A and B are shown apart, each in its own frame.
Chain A
Amino acid sequence: MQRTISLILGFILLTFLWIDVFAYTGFTQTLIAVPGKVLLLASILLSTILYISPSKDKSKSGYIEIFAIGTSILYLLAITIEGLASQGYVYTLFHLRPESMFYPVFASVVIAIALSLAIKDILPIRLATYFLSISVCFYLLRQLPIVLVQSSALVKAMVLAPSATYDDKMRSQWGGFYDYMVYLKANLPMEGTTLGIPPQQNPWLLYGNGMLVQSFVYPTRVTNLDATGSANVMPEYIMQLSDWPPSNPALEQNKWGLIKL
């Protein structure tokens, strides 16, 4: 009786958790005023009751196992497709929200473990093994999507631009900053000289990073000027940025340039 009630309650909880996947994250909370996290915890509690309640009937566990494995594969597939395409792609196609799938999939897996795990030992060891199994599944379901998204992004980058040059790859990481560094390198003299850059503070955290800029323009030395563009010893060159005090009328139209003092 206890087992049957737990199973029915588990089914209801799973249904509520799955609603979010087809609507939006938090939809269930607006319906029944219970957050998804609490529903998940309730599922784990129910599964624990199922696990410790004695039963010889294992016929139902097969279906639940298939359901848990199936939904897990569906979840991972959805995450991978979303990673390869774009955010919202799976929702547009199948009306499923992969980001909301973790709770219901994990709850299904927990229930499946409760029904199928058979350990012949004393109760504390059985319970600890049961929770260890849950934590292994938690680990896999939590980490696998992250790694799949990362792998999808890698594959996507390679497939979209298989012949990308060094410059293309740097540009995709650093954007216009890289172009500016290339420009500086091309326009600064080869012999050692000093380049004045903005102070490393908002909004020049990137352009004002001396170590970073120096790694691009070396052997030119780099020195930070203050917010007004001055220093005790002025360098031979100064970065020309659109939003920094030094200005050069000849380069007014450009976003960036180089000023020789």
Chain B
Amino acid sequence: MNILGIFIVPLFGYLITSAIWQKKSLLENLAYGYLIGWPLFTLALFIANLLGLRFATIESSLVLSSLLFIVIILRFIFRVPLNPNQHKINFYALTRLETVIFITIALLLITIFINSLYAIVVDWDSLTLYDFRARLFAQYGGMQEAIRAQGSYFNSYPPHTSLVHMWYYLLGFHSPMTYYGGLLISFVTAFYFSARRVSSRTISLLSSLMLVLAPHIFWHSQIAYTNLPYTVSLVMGTILIVEWVRTNKFSNLALGALLTGISVWIRHPEPFWMTNLLIVVAVSIYKRKPWLILPYSIIFFPFERIWKVFVAGLAGASASGSLSEVSGGLATVTKLSNMSVIMDVIQYLATTVARPYAPAFALFGFMILLKYLQRDKFWVAEFIVITNLALLSAGTLIFAMTQPYWQEIPGSLQRVSMIFTPLILYSFASMKRSR
């Protein structure tokens, strides 16, 4: 019976996505349902706890049931049919190459999923922070014990994955690793359908295979860190915003805002959400529809605010503004007097980011060249990659200027850079092809 508790969460997400995207396939809506169902559930658990509800099996089940009930009622009010839109996949129509790619993807994803049934939480950060918090939540029914035990370490990241783990433990499971396996499967599925809308089946399958083959992403589907959930949410949110720019569909903008907001609910320190906001502001103004910034902000900013306000509340202070890091960062950079720091940072980025992600960046370089030669006019995805690279470099420079130990955690910078490969692959899938 307990396994139902695990299946209902993505089902809740599916009920939302299938109501918004009634023409999309069952598989795609299920994939997006997984990506938004879990974070919305953990956010609801967090808010319910702040309102006084304990983290316990019955209370958490009540929260989930309420969410389901609300969605079903809303579907009923708006008369959204429950029958899923079936898009049949004709395997006989696949070419030999497509079959090989499809089987390779399937085998790799099956391996990941079987392993996630076997694996347990063993990695450093998860033991000391994410999973430790989850065990304390489940044991003590609230956040106070974890806040006492972990001190300021507790504030470093929002508790999304901890609440996912907690839900598994409350249901009696010994390991929450299937969440991460399911996340990769959903990511690849959602990515494939997005790529398919802008390219041929062969290219979509090829870029999906290349996504599974990104070693950092593959590895992170087997460990309980927050980087994969963050990457998946941010990348799919970004892709939806790019689709919005291309198609003008409001649903893409809304879900893009939601997934970008979710990414901030999973990992707060990274600044990449600013690029999506910049795109939305610039494109809305360019399209002479500036009012579109409002719905984006209404959906996105509550996610951005909630953890900041909570942490500030713990310290008895007021929360800093959403863009205060930018002004703070700029103030730091203006104090730059020693130019050798810049060279050190460039060297550090080359070793820590460029080298491990060389295959993706090589692809990006030639793609840019080809797009330029083809006089392609749609550069949104590439602009996002370049802006995010600039943000990463600026962030590293600020970190180098303020923290003496800045070179001691290259693994952390590498994990933050996980977002680039899928964005580059989407950009690759969506480019025009010569014949």
Contacts and interface: CB of A to CB of B under 8 A. Distances in A.
Interface in B143-183: 149-150, 153, 174
A57 B219 CA distance: 45
Interface residues of B, number: 44
B218 A158 contact: no
B122 A173 contact: yes
Nearest to B206: A136
Given A119-B435, A143-B215, A138 B122 contact: no
B434 interface: yes
B175 to A, nearest CB: 8
Nearest to A130: B366
A249 interface: no
A244 B219 CA distance: 36
Interface string B346-369: 000000000000111011011101
A151 B181 CA distance: 13
B132 interface: yes
Interface stretch (A19-27, A46-54, A120-128, A253-261): A120-128
Interface stretch (B15-23, B66-74, B111-119, B234-242): B111-119
A129 interface: yes
Given A143-B215, A174-B122, A212-B128, A125 B370 contact: yes
A170 B122 CA distance: 6
A248 interface: no
A119 to B, nearest CB: 5
A128 B373 contact: yes
Given A119-B434, A155-B111, A211 B122 contact: no
Interface in A126-165: 126, 128-129, 131-132, 134-136, 138-140, 142-144, 146-147, 150-151, 154-155, 157-158, 162
Given A174-B122, A215-B132, A132 B213 contact: no
A63 interface: no
A144 B120 contact: no
B108 A147 contact: yes
B222 interface: yes
Contacts of B132: 215, 218
Contact of B127 (A121, A134, A157, A215): A215
Interface string A167-196: 001100110000000000000000000000
Interface in A57-78: none
Contact of B215 (A125, A147, A158): A147
B374 interface: yes
A235 to B, nearest CB: 16
B267 to A, nearest CB: 19
Chain A CB count within 10 A is highest, among B111, B174, B206, for: B111
Interface residues of A, number: 41
Contact of A166 (B120, B209, B435): B120
A33 to B, nearest CB: 27
Chain B CB count within 10 A is highest, among A126, A139, A209, A214, for: A139
B363 A136 contact: yes
Contacts of A138: 359, 362
Contacts of A142: 358-359
Contacts of B150: 211
Contact of B435 (A120, A157, A158): A120
B215 A128 contact: no
B108 A151 contact: yes
Contacts of A211: 128-129, 150, 153
Contacts of B44: none
Interface in A180-229: 209, 211-212, 214-216, 218-219
Contacts of B115: 154-155, 158
B366 A135 contact: yes
Contact of B128 (A121, A131, A215): A215
Contacts of A150: 215, 218-219, 222
Nearest to B131: A215
Contacts of A173: 122
A133 to B, nearest CB: 9
A51 B33 CA distance: 47
Contacts of B111: 151, 154-155
A125 B210 contact: no
B366 A132 contact: yes
Contact of A169 (B122, B213, B214, B215): B122
B136 interface: yes
A216 B131 CA distance: 11
A226 B276 CA distance: 48
29 contacts: A119-B435, A121-B434, A125-B373, A126-B434, A128-B366, A128-B370, A128-B373, A132-B370, A136-B363, A138-B362, A139-B362, A139-B363, A140-B209, A140-B213, A143-B215, A147-B215, A150-B215, A151-B112, A154-B112, A157-B118, A158-B114, A162-B118, A170-B120, A211-B153, A212-B124, A212-B128, A214-B128, A215-B132, A218-B149
Interface of A: 119-121, 124-126, 128-129, 131-132, 134-136, 138-140, 142-144, 146-147, 150-151, 154-155, 157-158, 162, 166, 169-170, 173-174, 209, 211-212, 214-216, 218-219
Given A147-B213, A150-B215, A219-B149, 15 more contacts: A128-B366, A128-B373, A132-B363, A138-B359, A139-B210, A140-B209, A142-B359, A146-B213, A150-B222, A151-B111, A155-B115, A169-B119, A169-B120, A215-B128, A218-B132
